[in-house]
Chains A and B, each alone.
Chain A
Amino acid sequence: EAGVAQSPRYKIIEKRQSVAFWCNPISGHATLYWYQQILGQGPKLLIQFQNNGVVDDSQLPKDRFSAERLKGVDSTLKIQPAKLEDSAVYLCASSLEGGTDEQFFGPGTRLTVL
């Protein structure tokens, strides 16, 4: 079975620019997560979707970050405008349902903001 796909794998932008990341979860997985992993830290949940609805976005900086999951499958995470402190790896994960179902992670997108 195919894993979680993410693109691009790497992105370098200048501050104040916009950037978007794409995630395709494992087929049939209802729950999708976006995490931010800053170097030297563990992943921090930004947003969780159940199908196409938002379950938790309490740690998403909504003034600059947005995410959507149209049709309950693919998802995009956008940063507009980017700041230096947004440099991190952005991980997407999916699970069959939510709760304590095992999360399957994608390879991540490494963002560098100059």
Chain B
Amino acid sequence: AQTVTQSQPEMSVQEAETVTLSCTYDTSESDYYLFWYKQPPSRQMILVIRQEAYKQQNATENRFSVNFQKAAKSFSLKISDSQLGDAAMYFCAYRRDTGNQFYFGTGTSLTVIP
């Protein structure tokens, strides 16, 4: 079974600074998709960024970027120029190329310090 591990239950960052959230996963598949979701205190989950495993180029969405290391099965999220609105739970998720299951990690709670 696929597992997703987020080893940092809590992280904090100064406003305007950069923070990196870690995620590792376990799979025997070669094709799959990886996601970072943000869950603010209002609880509505929002997709932050998506990475296809067959793409070598790291995905980027404005201030959010990933460092995808396929051989190491690592998928970290970098948030640049952190803003107060970035404070939330961040979940890493994995999905096989075929099948329907999304596997979520346990989350990292990010605090942004003014």
Query: CA–CA, A44 to B103, complex, Å?
Result: 7
Point out which of B33, B100, B101, B107 has the most chain A C-beta atoms below 10 A from its C-beta: B100
Which residues from chain A contact B104 at a C-beta distance below 8 Å? 42-44
Main secondary structure of the interface of A (DSSP, over half): loop
Q: In angstroms, how far is the closest chain A Cβ from the Cβ of B33?
A: 5
Nearest Cβ in chain A — how far from B42, in angstroms? 7
Q: How large is the interface on A (under 10, 10 to 19, 20 to 34, 35 or more residues)?
A: 20 to 34
Q: Assuming A42-B91, A56-B101, is B106 touching A100 (CB within 8 A)?
A: no
Whether A48 sits at the interface, judged by CB under 8 Å, is: yes
Closest to B43 in A: A108
In the assembled complex, the CB of A51 is this many whole angstroms from the nearest CB of chain B, namely 14
Identify the A interface with B (CB < 8 A). Answer: 3, 40-45, 48, 55-56, 58, 89, 91, 93, 98, 100, 102-103, 105-108
- Other A-B contacts than A42-B107, A103-B102, 4 sampled, CB-CB below 8 A, are A89-B43, A93-B45, A102-B50, A103-B47
- Give the A-binding residues of B (Cβ under 8 A): 4, 33, 42-47, 50, 52, 91, 93, 95, 99-102, 104-107
A–B pairs, 13, beta carbons within 8 Å = A3-B44, A42-B4, A42-B104, A42-B106, A42-B107, A44-B104, A45-B101, A55-B100, A58-B101, A89-B43, A93-B45, A102-B47, A105-B46
